[in-house]
Amino acid sequence: MNGVYTESLNKLIEEFGKLPGIGPKSAERLAFYILKSEPAEAMKLADAIRDVKNKIKRCKICCNLSEEALCQICSDPRRDKSLICVVEQPKDVIALEKTGTCKWVYHVLGGHIAPLEGVEPTDLTVDKLVERVREGNVKEVIMATNPNMAGDGTSLYISSLLRSAEVKITRLARGLPTGSTIEYASGKILTDAIIGRQELE
Ligand SMILES: [Zn+2]
């Protein structure tokens, strides 16, 4: 961005420009907004960024985002710990929770298996899931990976690992359009998919 602005302003524009969906014009607009805002207001943004990076870790059981050792869902006594819903990302947990129909706990894989992109099962929390199921007391594993090729492949791989364990494995129903993602599915479609989930053969 050259020498039109001061060094620190250039730096801020550059950082905003690295954010997804923010082009050079928007980055400039955001930087000027911060420049004009009250110092205390602007610092709230800086603090929020610092807090997110310092405080958020992975739940010890389900690997979802949490500020404590256990996430809110795993530490909720009303949740049925015998039902584990397997998702790719924390954002999927939020989408499913918004339906208000889930009383299960989760397992967050941290992505999907994609050998061409160099993502192997060992890069995900697959081992931890298998361990959870082998420890017993799990009746059903609900595969809620995205209804696309990578999500289906991941789901099949995991179900093959769990085949020897005495557990029912289900997949969210096919009301979800193929190739779509859990994150962007409507609450109604997700609720139908949850209720209509089918056993994986
Ligand atoms: Zn948890």
Cα(60) to centroid of ligand 1, in Å? 6
Distance from the CA of 76 to the center of ligand 1, in angstroms? 9
Q: What is the mean pLDDT of residues 69-84?
A: 96
The H-or-E segment that residue 168 falls in is strand 168-171
Distance 107 CA to ligand 1 centre (A): 8
> How far apart are the CA of 97 and the centre of ligand 1, in A?
13
* pLDDT at residue number 104: 96
CA of 65 to the centre of ligand 1 (A): 8
Asked whether residue 187 carries a pLDDT value surpassing 90, the answer given is no
* Cα 129 to ligand 1 centroid, rounded to whole Å: 12
The 3-state secondary structure of 101-134 reads CCCEEEEECCCCCEHHHCECHHHCCHHHHHHHHH
- Find the mean pLDDT for residues 3-12: 89
pLDDT band at 200 (very low <50, low <70, confident <90, very high): confident
- Residue 82: is its pLDDT beyond 50? yes
Lowest mean pLDDT among 10-24, 104-118, 150-164, 167-181: 167-181
From 21-30, 71-80, 82-91, 164-173, the region with the lowest mean pLDDT:
164-173
How far does residue 162's CA lie from ligand 1's centre (Å)? 20
DSSP for residue 84? E
pLDDT value of residue 112: 96
147-181 pLDDT, tens digit each:
888 999 999 999 999 988 889 999 987 667 777 78
198-199, strands of its sheet edge to edge: 104-108, 80-87, 140-143, 168-171, 198-199
| φ, ψ for residue 84, nearest 5 deg | -115, 120
Distance 144 CA to ligand 1 centre (A): 16
CA of 126 to the centre of ligand 1 (A): 15
Rounded to the nearest integer, the mean pLDDT of the chain is 92
Task: Give residue-wise pLDDT tens across range 30-74.
Answer: 999 999 999 999 999 999 999 999 999 999 999 999 999 999 999
* Ligand 1: centre distance to CA 58 (Å): 8
- Predicted confidence at residue 182, as pLDDT, reads 86
Residue with the larger pLDDT of the pair 88 and 187: 88
CA 145 / ligand 1 centre spacing (Å): 17
Task: Give residue 10 CA to ligand 1 midpoint distance, Å.
Answer: 41
pLDDT computed for residue 60 by the predictor: 97
